[in-house]
Amino acid sequence: MSLQEEHQPLDTAIWNAMLAVLPPDCSAARLEVAAVFEADGGLEMPHSLVALDDSKDLCFPSDEIYQLTREHLAVFERHGKPWASLACTVRFDFDTENWRCSTDYEY
């Protein structure tokens, strides 16, 4: 299976998990994850989830988001392309009344 075929379902699952934790009045948010490989072989993955609109409510990554991003990194590692950071954005498009989602990587 190709990298694209393996990670695309995880992208979708991450976006859905993000939408599940957003406050009702939030129309845009960004999840940022860093993959920090430590000298002893450990891995830290700090996460931050921020609203990109005027929403005043706080939102936090769920356990599901943490699990999915670890799986996501593992897929990229298996293909020899571990990312250093991941940024997922979800934004409601009021014209089409649909969510637009994207994922960007830094290596």
Q: What is the pLDDT of residues 23-46, one digit of tens each?
A: 888 999 999 999 998 888 889 999
Tell me, what's the pLDDT at 38?
Answer: 87
**Closest by CA position to 37, among listed 90, 10, 88, 77:** 77
Encode pLDDT of 59-72 as tens digits.
Answer: 899 999 999 999 99
